[in-house]
Amino acid sequence: MRTLRFDIVSIFPGMFESPFGDSIIQRAREEGLLDLRVHDLREFSLNKHKKVDDSPFGGGVGMVMNVEPFARAIAEVKKEVPETRTLLLSPGGRPFDQEKAWELSRLPSLTLICGRYEGIDERVRQHFVDEEISIGDYVLTGGEIPAMVLVEAVSRLLPGVLGDPDSIVEESFAGNLLEYPQYTRPQDYQGMKVPEVLVSGDHKKIRAWQKAEALKKTERVRPDLLKKNRRS
């Protein structure tokens, strides 16, 4: 059995309590598959008021997060896990996707750095960050929720975390297609009927229908998925 360790650095450590104390993530932690630690950035400030930002050189509105607290927090993590990969969650990063989730799931340790809207001193990126990751093209107020997204996407890929490993196999077998429509009882809900083919008992025909429906939906909603590395 293998453990993936996450060290998260944030000025809002409390934000992680409920999402990580819940359901699948919590069970994975209890079973030793996941080791999740959250570090309060302010504790690494040497300022008497635990300040972690300052006004920008060159002028301009707003504040910039200081390099020192991040440098000290990352150094502390590296004392325990020297081999850690340090990721900065930032809207200017490479877009996160399933392939990246698989890649990260094979590593032993990830340190996630959360910035806030104001921005961070460029020297953090230059000297302490291995990779910058965004979760999509929209603006949030900080890297905390993106860090949770990353933890969840990566954790569920670890052997033993999901109750049913078949669902991951099926997911990757379905390749870059959206899901086909699914139905369960009743077969007729107030005149809204389940497609006949699904109750035909003809499994070959059912598979063909599901595949065709998945393709139709993908063409309509996400034609970009059909262009990129097709496995269908």
| Residues near ligand 9D3, by CB under 6 A | 89-91, 115, 117, 119, 134-136, 138-143, 146
Tokens for 91?
């809207």
Q: For the chain, what percentages of helix, strand and coil (3-state, to nearest 5) are there?
A: 40, 20, 40
Pairing type for strands 188-189 and 192-193 reads antiparallel
The nearer residue to ligand 9D3, 150 or 177, going by C-beta atoms, is 150
The nearer residue to ligand 9D3, 20 or 96, going by C-beta atoms, is 96
Distance of CA 64 to the CA centre of its chain: 25
Report in angstroms how near the CB of residue 103 gets to ligand 9D3 at its nearest. Answer: 17
Report in angstroms how near the CB of residue 30 gets to ligand 9D3 at its nearest. Answer: 28
| Distance separating alpha carbons of residues 24 and 163, to the nearest angstrom | 9
The nearer residue to ligand 9D3, 56 or 91, going by C-beta atoms, is 91
The nearer residue to ligand 9D3, 141 or 184, going by C-beta atoms, is 141
Report in angstroms how near the CB of residue 104 gets to ligand 9D3 at its nearest. Answer: 15
> How would you classify residue 50: left for phi > 0, otherwise alpha for psi between -120 and 50, otherwise beta?
left
| Distance separating alpha carbons of residues 45 and 131, to the nearest angstrom | 23
Report in angstroms how near the CB of residue 196 gets to ligand 9D3 at its nearest. Answer: 44
Report in angstroms how near the CB of residue 121 gets to ligand 9D3 at its nearest. Answer: 13
State the DSSP code for 14. Answer: G
The nearer residue to ligand 9D3, 62 or 159, going by C-beta atoms, is 62
Report in angstroms how near the CB of residue 72 gets to ligand 9D3 at its nearest. Answer: 20
The nearer residue to ligand 9D3, 60 or 195, going by C-beta atoms, is 60
Bridge partner residues of 142 (DSSP): 116
Q: Which helix (H) or strand (E) segment is 8 a member of? A: strand 4-10
| Distance separating alpha carbons of residues 17 and 212, to the nearest angstrom | 42
